[in-house]
Structure 1
């Protein structure tokens, strides 16, 4: 479980511990991961807190080794959740450093997690992998280029994994939420106007991380590939597929209305 130190990742970790008893909680913020484990243990579960920067493949390998040692066997469910938010600039003005950092965590983190853990699942012929993407993976909202691209790639990677693991009992799921009440917008890669708008939308339409984790795990247990846990995500999904040109025009209009 990556990105377990806060937000959706913490909610996933606590719910997994309630269902399965033990969970490995990894996060670049090791103190946050330890706090999550403390909450798990207060609930009667067991957890292992580890520091891990998923953009660094060496650290992901070390995570896998520590997880196997602590569990006594390879993990049977992998959740690639670690991610960062970015936004506020149009293409051509977004600093390339923001692109590299965003793709490093949001895309390469999932690539590394899949590269390291999927062979174990394939060899076992059972288990599951959940990749946390976003409705941004298909919504393509203006001024979110790097974030959109990173999440769209996670969606495509998940679809590829599902095809490659078809015929086994390994379940692949990709979670595409809209607004969730987390601190993802509180970082230097999102300009102040975009962060303020995101915070306002979170307050108005956002759901709790616990809602997302519970819905996602329930859907994964039913073998769902695409998990769109909120109604607005499902409406966006259908609108874009039924009327793609109208969708793009509306997105453009919304983009031009932003300050």
Structure 2
């Protein structure tokens, strides 16, 4: 088993809360230096402060992962702080979106969701992977979601963004095979984080998701440990919860019946409590699902 997550030079986006904070803290426990990046510098600083209080080494950086320029700047600051290139990147920053049908989802919501959830991961991989390839080793953790393969109704923008992250991770894993750089993609269902608040999610959908997370959700700490262990073991996919694993297998075994049942459930579900476009996007980029 490799030790990519031990004593790494790690960069974690969306490190201000949820899975991102859990990844950063767990990496620090494994002896890694951690750059904690988030759109909200104050929350990133809290994470970095917790690491330093425990005797670790951390740096808080503000970064909007939807901006290629800011991610390049993040890499430069990380390199200067580490004294060399990062050996591990966790592309975790993301926002939630849901509550509208595909055709009723406001274009601005599509653009913002794809900009953070998909382009943010693309920017992270394009920016950090070349140095790892050149060094002959390193690790990439891309945080996707079970939404990337479950394709639940009224979550089109989010589903598309996460499906793209899964496909990107699979492609990257193939391209990096034999280079010493490992790739792991995380696909959970519900994790007990703050993604359900203040995002592009209809109020009723937000309430339902938060309720389900309380019943079936894993803690972000548990998910972080499982994901980092998977990277060390060379595993591509992390589908941590039993419900996610069941949906994964069902979709692959009986895709047409699965889609029909999902469509039926979507039609009988209560309609959104607000008209399309009534939700207001926020600048929060945090660990999610």
Is the counterpart of residue 87 in structure 1 residue 73 in structure 2? no
Q: How does 1:84-163 map to 2 (within 5 A)?
A: 84-163=95-174
Q: Secondary structure at the match of 2:58?
A: strand
Q: Secondary structure at the match of 1:26?
A: strand
CA shift at 1:71, angstroms?
A: 0.7
Of 216, 229, 239 in structure 2, the residue corresponding to residue 228 of structure 1 is 239
Structure having the larger proportion of residues in helix: 1
The residue aligned with 1:164 is 175
The residue aligned with 1:191 is 202
Q: Secondary structure at the match of 1:117?
A: helix
Is the counterpart of residue 63 in structure 1 residue 102 in structure 2? no
Is the counterpart of residue 18 in structure 1 residue 61 in structure 2? no
CA contact (8 A) 2:138 2:182 kept: yes
Of 166, 184, 208 in structure 1, the residue corresponding to residue 219 of structure 2 is 208
Q: Secondary structure at the match of 2:97?
A: coil
For residues 85 and 79 of structure 1, the distance between their equivalents in structure 2, rounded to whole angstroms, comes to: 18
**Can you list the C-alpha shifts for 1:141-182, whole angstroms capped at 9, x where unaligned?**
000000000000000000110111111111011000110001
Q: Which runs of 5+ in 2 are unaligned?
A: 1-11, 271-289
For residues 134 and 202 of structure 1, the distance between their equivalents in structure 2, rounded to whole angstroms, comes to: 14
For residues 135 and 57 of structure 1, the distance between their equivalents in structure 2, rounded to whole angstroms, comes to: 26
CA shift at 1:33, angstroms?
A: 0.2
The residue aligned with 1:50 is 61
CA shift at 1:20, angstroms?
A: 2.5
Higher RCO (C-alpha 8 Å, min separation 6): 2
Runs of 4+ with >6 A deviation: none
**Can you list the C-alpha shifts for 1:89-113, whole angstroms capped at 9, x where unaligned?**
0011110000000000000100110
TM-score using structure 2 length: 0.88
For residues 187 and 243 of structure 1, the distance between their equivalents in structure 2, rounded to whole angstroms, comes to: 36
Q: Which runs of 5+ in 1 are unaligned?
A: none
Q: CA RMSD in A?
A: 0.8
For residues 85 and 39 of structure 1, the distance between their equivalents in structure 2, rounded to whole angstroms, comes to: 26
CA contact (8 A) 2:34 2:58 kept: yes
CA shift at 1:257, angstroms?
A: 2.1
Q: Secondary structure at the match of 2:183?
A: strand
With over 3 angstroms needed to count, the CA separation of the structure-2 counterparts of 1:21 and 1:164, relative to structure 1, is closer
